[in-house]
């Protein structure tokens, strides 16, 4: 069940009012809501127009003022140049795709880190897993080993027969001469 979005009303004097919690908020508060995974919707208090996109862009802009490591300047320039709808849609699609890929990589890294952490926290379990998988590999090795033993035994038997035959043939020659 999804939680209802936090509805923020924006007034003409630029004040933001969280109608869900009945208190005034600022852009940092809205950013915290979003970081906490809450769905936020910002609407104009007078006419109900959705201002969410504009407000989130403003949060990013304010954040870029404090930390100059925001979006690259060339990308920002291209966003401004992309005034026609097709180019703008492409840029937005590209940014969304890049972000989705970034999220997938982050999720994969977190998953692998979790696996490594669990392996480090439970070395006994890891040893049990290694030992439990070892017998499974033995049946494959056992027939090969048995075949090699048989082959060695056959070769030894041939060598013994061959050495007996040589001794017998030497003894017969000495007796005839």
Which spans in the chain are helix H?
Answer: 27-35, 52-66, 73-81, 85-121, 123-176
For residue 177, the model assigns a pLDDT of 47
Of the candidates 19, 38, 22, the one whose C-alpha atom is nearest the C-alpha of residue 30 is 38
Q: What is the pLDDT of residue 1?
A: 46
Does the pLDDT of residue 52 top 80, yes or no? yes
Enter the tokens of residue 174.
Answer: 């000495």
- Give residue-wise pLDDT tens across range 122-144: 666 666 666 666 555 455 557 77
Instruction: Locate the domains of the chain by residue range.
Output: 1-70, 72-121, 124-177
Confidence of residue 16 (pLDDT cuts 50, 70, 90): very high
Write down the pTM of the prediction: 0.47
For a pLDDT cut of 70, what percent of the chain falls above it? 73
């Amino acid at each position: 069940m999804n939680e209802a979005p936090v509805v923020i009303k924006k007034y003409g004097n630029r004040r933001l009012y969280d109608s869900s919690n009945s208190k005034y908020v600022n852009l940092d508060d809205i950013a915290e809501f979003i970081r906490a995974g809450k769905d936020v919707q910002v609407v104009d208090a007078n006419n109900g127009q959705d201002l969410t996109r504009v407000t989130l862009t403003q949060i990013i802009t304010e954040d870029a003022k404090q930390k100059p490591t925001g979006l690259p300047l060339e990308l920002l320039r291209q966003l401004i140049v992309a005034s026609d709808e097709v180019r703008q849609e492409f840029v937005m699609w590209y940014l969304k795709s890049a972000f989705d890929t970034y999220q997938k990589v982050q999720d994969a890294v977190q998953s692998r880190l979790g696996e490594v952490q669990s392996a480090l926290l439970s070395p006994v379990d890891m040893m049990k897993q290694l030992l439990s998988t070892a017998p499974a590999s033995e049946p494959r090795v056992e027939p090969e080993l048995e075949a090699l033993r048989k082959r060695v035994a056959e070769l030894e038997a041939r060598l013994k027969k061959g050495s007996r035959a040589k001794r017998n043939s030497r003894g017969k020659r000495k007796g005839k001469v």
